[in-house]
Amino acid sequence: MRATPEILRLAYRDFAHERRISLCFVLALMAVLAPLLILFGLKFGLVDTLTQRLVQSPANREVQPVGSREYDQAWFERIGARPDVAFIVPNTRRIAASLSRLLNPASGQDLRVLSMIPTGPGDPLLGEATAVPGGLAELVLSFAAAHKLSATAGDRLVARIDRRRGERDENAVWEVRVTAVLPAGALAEEAALVPLPLLVATEDYRDGAAVPALGWEGSPPRAQARSFARFRLYARSIYTVTGLAADLAAEGVEVRTAAVEIAAMQGLDRNLTRVFWLIALIGSLGFLASLAANLLANVERKRRELAVVRLIGFPTRSLVLFPVAQAVLVALLGAAAALLIYLPVAVALNSWFTESLSADESICRLLPSHLLIALTATLLGAAAAAAWAGRRAARIAPAEGLRDL
């Protein structure tokens, strides 16, 4: 007779025979584990959703300069070569980075003082699906600007910029084409993403210089190397924003970032993790202590039966395995019952918050790896709780079984 399979069969038969007591053990574990799964699902789903929103929103990775100074081409090349920089492009003076008027001839709608934002390859605002505008007659409109103009991709608009040269007011008018419209959440303001050469041309025109490429008259174009007053800069990750901003500040470049929002999210993650583990520790220790006490009581109650088992030839390790096998059964069934509780609750919670979530977001979510870890921890905890009873069972002498013979 093989002792291990036989003792496992006896443990199962005893577990099934005392089904009411066994059911109480299973329900007790379910009552502890199900809330823990829901709590961790909320913690992971909520923090993961907030993190993804922070990561996916370009605004949270943007490092904005405060004020203006001169940045030469060498500075842009040096900063752009940093591994923590995802995108950088020069920007002109704020007063020059705007259109005096943008008109849609088809709808008759127009915008006054429309901000122009320089763009280029790799711009986080454009994403991978939107082509980068080029030349001096292409631009990408923000959703708000396109809505105000009743414009769509492919429309041709009339742009105008004004200047005062000497004692005269002058303006330049030319046609531009809308290559794309940004999604509603990409850029809140009424603005246009334009190629850097177009922004440079409008700055030169406002400074009184000629722009031969567009036929704009003025003084001869500047001959010296150009420097820029501002820049657009995005960190590669929200987690590198603080370090990048600190390095720029050390160079005397004052910047503004979303570091406060990022730190708040990270603090929320840490605090929720602490709360979860505190509740999990209290609940788990309470259940494991209860399970250990009940398994020990079960061994004491069946002391004579186990002594007879030992007397007929079962080794000590078989008696140790008896309460451990029953504890594992409790863990498996309790974990399955807890999962059956968690799944519909998670679906209900996500449906309640569906208006606040996008298609790939959830407020309560667990990955398969999380469930596997929870099951493994439950099995190990149950086996550890049974060790006390197993040690007691190992001390039962075979002679105690002779009293029943």
The residues pairing with 232 across neighbouring beta strands, listed in sequence order, are: 89
Q: Is 355's pLDDT higher than 90?
A: no
**Which range, 248-252, 297-301, 306-310, 384-388, is most confident?**
248-252
Helix pair 19-56, 368-394: axis angle to 10 deg? 150
Token readout for 378 is 């439950």
> What does the H/E/C string look like for 45-72?
HHHHHHHHHHHHCHHHHEEEECCCCCEC
DSSP-based helix, strand, coil % in the chain, nearest 5:
55, 20, 25
Q: Is the pLDDT of residue 144 over 80?
A: yes
Closest by alpha carbon to 154, among 130, 135, 176?
Answer: 176
Tokens 């060498």 appear where? 74
Positive or negative torsion for Cα 76, 78, 79, 85: positive
DSSP state of 225: P
CA-closest candidate to residue 92, choices 168, 215, 202 = 202
pLDDT in tens, 233-283: 999 888 888 899 999 999 889 999 888 887 887 787 788 778 878 887 887
Taking residue 28's Cβ as centre, other Cβ atoms within 10 Å add up to: 17
pLDDT for the residue 247 = 92
- pLDDT tens string 154-196: 999 999 999 888 788 889 999 999 999 998 878 888 999 999 9
For residues 258 and 139, the model is more confident at 139
